[in-house]
């Protein structure tokens, strides 16, 4: 237990770093993912192909491999950035593909009649999407998006294996320093993750139920 309480400051640093990774990567992934989703439903075939290619490529690549690319391969072509930035890049690129799929399935969930009605009053594609479909899609997109962001929060732990001192990285370091107190150290780390993921999951469930009633 001592290993936990005498290192609360380290835990705090790790917790903050984890949150920082999740927030930065989350914002970038949301922007990139929404753009990709718009590309995938757009009338311009090459944009659709590009969006589809991105999603298929990234979805089938393990996150560890994406990290490996940004941390070990990118410096080979003189792209040298701090490990934190590499981690944010890897997490954003990876998560964007899943954000795209969540948004796209939300667009698909809006009734066909809505888009038809919007078009029959003469709205253009950007107007149909921006004024009619997306505002309604948001409702059914929020629960899966929250799930994607929860997964992102958990995925930040991979950064701990690539030289970023976030929660998992701190836990690894502390288990080396306190080999007799491993259990307490790791349970401490686990609790920190649960503090993030369980409330977020409960929130997702509540939103989901609300949306279900609203339909």
Partner 1 sequence: MSTELVLYDEAGPRTRRRILIGSIAGGLLLLVLAFVVYRRLDTRGIFEAERWDIFTDPEVWEAIGRGLLATLKAAGAAAALAAVAGLVLCVLRTSPSPLVRRPAAVTIELFRGLPVVLLMFFAAVVLPVSLFWAVVIGLVIYNSAVVAEILRAGIASLPRGQTEAAAAIGLSDLQTLRLVLLPQAIRRMMPTLVSQLVVLNKDTSLGFIVGYFELLRTVQTLQFFFGDRYLFSFFFVAAGIYILLNVLISRLAIYLERRGSTKAAGGGVPRALAVVAAGTGENV
Binding site for partner 1 (CB under 8 A): 41, 43-47, 56-57, 59-65, 68-69, 72-73, 76-77, 95, 98, 101-102, 104-109, 112, 115-116, 119, 125, 128-129, 133, 143-148, 150-152, 154-158, 160-161, 168, 171-172, 175, 182-183, 186, 189-190, 193-194, 197-198, 201
* Identity of the residue, 9 or 113, whose beta carbon is nearer to partner 1 in the bound complex: 113
CA–CA dist 35, 41 (Å, integer): 10
The 8-class DSSP code of residue 122 comes to T
* Identity of the residue, 9 or 76, whose beta carbon is nearer to partner 1 in the bound complex: 76
* 8 Å CB contact between 118 and 131: yes
How many beta carbons lie within 10 A of that of residue 162, not counting itself?
17
CA–CA dist 53, 70 (Å, integer): 20
CA angle at residue 86 from 83 to 91, to 5 degrees? Answer: 125
CB of residue 196 to partner 1, shortest distance in Å: 8
* Identity of the residue, 8 or 57, whose beta carbon is nearer to partner 1 in the bound complex: 57
* Identity of the residue, 46 or 213, whose beta carbon is nearer to partner 1 in the bound complex: 46
């Amino acid at each position: 237990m001592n290993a936990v309480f005498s290192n609360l400051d380290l835990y705090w640093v790790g917790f903050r770093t984890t949150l920082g990774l999740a927030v930065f990567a989350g914002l970038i992934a949301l922007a990139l993912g929404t753009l990709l989703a718009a590309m995938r439903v757009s009338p311009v075939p090459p944009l659709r192909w590009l969006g589809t290619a991105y999603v298929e490529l990234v979805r089938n690549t393990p996150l560890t491999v994406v990290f490996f690319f940004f941390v070990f391969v990118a410096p080979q072509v003189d792209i040298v950035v701090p490990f934190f930035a590499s981690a944010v890049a890897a997490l954003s690129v990876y998560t964007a593909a899943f954000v795209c799929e969540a948004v796209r399935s939300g667009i698909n969930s809006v009734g066909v009649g809505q888009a038809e009605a919007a078009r029959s009053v003469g709205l253009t594609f950007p107007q149909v999407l921006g004024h009619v479909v997306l505002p309604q899609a948001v409702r059914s997109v929020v629960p899966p998006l929250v799930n994607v962001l929860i997964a992102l929060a958990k995925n930040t732990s991979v950064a701990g294996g690539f030289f970023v001192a976030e929660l998992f990285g701190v836990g690894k370091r502390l288990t080396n320093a306190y080999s007799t107190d491993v259990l307490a150290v790791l349970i401490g780390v686990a609790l920190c993750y649960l503090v993030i993921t369980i409330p977020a999951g409960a929130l997702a469930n509540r939103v989901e139920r609300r949306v279900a009633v609203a339909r």
